[in-house]
């Protein structure tokens, strides 16, 4: 078994969008007290991750993207939802999430839910995929219940039935886009902050920066992307951090992070398949280039699975490299 490194694992929060930019620490926070609270919550999360053996390594690259969505926090983990016993015994509960609606009402592992808000869940049969229709009925009922209104279930517990109730927890999750990456060296994370004041070294080599982390505006059909290679066929993995390049012409291999629900192509397998695409970029000294995936609606409608998007530079701006340029 490999031993864990004695040096602490450092994580760099490159981008998080919660209505304002967060890069390492909250920027442009102004007087809004929420910014500091969210920044502290994210830092607490990173510290917790840094202590997890799962993240003990130098090959960490995670790009997380989530669109706004309403979250219903029922907090029930079902057992086998294809079992024919559900028709006669109810939906089996194998676990309850702490702090959830189910936990508040006193639902337990081993319970079987037979009724929700006076709607029976027995004898509904199975859908075309063999899943009990009771699962779909529960989902539909929860969608109709306003936040904080009571949800009431009747459960079979042992040899008796009990009625349980609690206010339904619903949350509106914001749009979030962040990237976790191990630092390229042992320098402080602040070395990765874009827009930091340049150093006083006048003889620095000419350099331009390639960035995939600044979230593009979705209203212009732009979505996050990640870099797979520079002047090569494919690096085989996500290229970490910002890329500092000497001025010149480059061929980039880029893959998209367009949510599958945005594609709506005829064949579902096309929506799940990520096709890396090439683009050319002329890098100039002292410039930062932000790359994104542009969704092409006219091609999406035709179901062309490898042509529904294209890599683009959606913004370029002056900025000094915070690392040494590497020739490719």
Q: What is the DSSP string of 65-80?
A: EE--EEEE---EEES-
Are 153 and 105 in contact by the 8 Å Cβ rule? The answer is yes
Phi, psi at residue 220, to the nearest 5°? -105, 25
**pLDDT score recorded for residue 102:** 95
pLDDT at 208: 92
Q: Are residues 90 and 184 in the same domain?
A: no
Distance, CA of 226 to CA of 207 (rounded, Å): 21
Q: For residues 257 and 309, state if they share a domain.
A: yes
Is residue 122 located within the same domain as residue 100?
A: yes
208-211 vs 243-245, strand pairing mode: antiparallel
49 and 112 in a single domain? The answer is no
Whichever domain contains 115, its CATH number is 2.30.42.10
Residue 315 bridge partners (DSSP) = 290
Q: What does the block give as tokens for 260?
A: 């599958």
Q: What is the pLDDT of residue 12?
A: 36
Residue 2 belongs to some domain of the structure: no
Residue 3 domain flag: no
232 and 157 housed in the same domain = no
Same domain for 229 and 322, yes or no, is yes
**Shared-domain flag, residues 136 and 264:** no
49 shares its domain with 188: yes
Verify that 82 and 43 share a domain, yes or no.
no
Q: Give the pLDDT confidence score for residue 296 in this predicted structure.
A: 84
Q: Is 292 inside a domain boundary? A: yes
pLDDT of amino acid 259: 75
Domain ranges, residue 210: 197-328
How many domains, in total, are found in the chain? 3
Alpha-carbon distance 210 to 198, whole Å?
A: 17
Q: Along the chain (328 residues), what's the average pLDDT of each consecutive run of 10 residues? A: 37 34 40 72 72 59 69 91 94 92 95 96 93 93 93 95 96 74 48 42 80 80 86 64 88 83 52 71 92 78 63 89 82
- How far is it, in rounded angstroms, from Cα 15 to Cα 63? 9
DSSP-assigned states of every residue in 5-52? PSSPP--EE--EESSSEEESEE-S-TT-HHHHHHHHHHHHHHHHHHTS
pLDDT of residue 213: 75
Q: What is the pLDDT of residue 154?
A: 97
Residues composing the chain: 328
Rg of the chain taking only CA atoms, in angstroms: 25
Instruction: Say whether both 179 and 45 belong to one domain.
Output: yes
Q: What is the pLDDT of residues 247-276, one digit of tens each?
A: 999 999 988 888 766 665 444 444 445 578
Residue 46 and residue 159 in one domain: no
Residues 6+ apart with CB under 8 A from 47: none
SS3 291: strand
| 295 CB burial (10 A radius; 0-12, 13-18, 19+) | buried
Q: Within this chain, do residues 265 and 145 fall inside the same structural domain, yes or no?
A: no
Confidence at residue 31, expressed as pLDDT on a 0 to 100 scale: 56
What is the per-residue pLDDT for 44?
73
Q: Is residue 1 part of a domain?
A: no
**Can you give the pTM of this predicted structure?**
0.42
């Amino acid at each position: 078994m490999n031993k864990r490194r004695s040096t602490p694992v450092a994580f760099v929060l490159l981008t998080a969008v919660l209505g304002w930019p967060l890069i390492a620490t909250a920027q442009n926070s102004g007087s809004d007290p929420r910014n500091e609270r969210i920044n502290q919550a994210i830092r607490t999360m990173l510290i917790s991750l840094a202590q997890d053996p799962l993240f003990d390594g130098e090959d960490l690259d995670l790009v997380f993207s989530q669109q706004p969505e309403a979250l219903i926090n029922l907090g029930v983990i079902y057992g086998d939802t294809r079992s024919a016993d559900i028709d006669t015994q109810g939906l089996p509960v194998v676990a309850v999430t702490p702090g959830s609606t189910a936990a508040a009402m006193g639902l337990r592992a081993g319970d079987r839910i037979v009724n929700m808000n006076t709607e029976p869940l027995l004898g509904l049969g199975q859908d075309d995929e063999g899943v009990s229709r009771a699962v779909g009925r529960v989902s539909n009922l929860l969608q109709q219940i306003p936040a904080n209104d009571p949800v009431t279930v009747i459960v079979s517990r042992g040899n008796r039935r009990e009625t349980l109730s609690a206010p339904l927890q619903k949350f509106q999750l914001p749009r979030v886009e962040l990237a976790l990456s191990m630092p390229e060296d042992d320098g402080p994370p602040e070395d990765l902050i874009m827009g930091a004041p340049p150093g006083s070294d006048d003889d620095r080599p000419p350099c331009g920066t390639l960035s995939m982390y600044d979230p593009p505006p979705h209203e212009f059909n732009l979505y996050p992307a990640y870099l797979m290679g520079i002047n090569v066929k494919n690096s085989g993995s996500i290229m970490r951090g910002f890329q500092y390049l000497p001025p010149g012409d480059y061929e980039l291999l880029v893959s998209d992070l367009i949510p599958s629900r945005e594609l709506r192509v005829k064949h579902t397998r096309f929506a799940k398949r990520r096709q890396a695409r090439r683009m050319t970029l002329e890098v100039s000294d002292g410039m930062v280039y932000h790359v994104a995936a542009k969704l092409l609606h006219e091609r999406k409608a035709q179901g062309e699975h490898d042509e529904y998007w294209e890599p683009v530079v959606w913004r370029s701006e002056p900025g000094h490299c915070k690392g040494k340029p590497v020739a490719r």
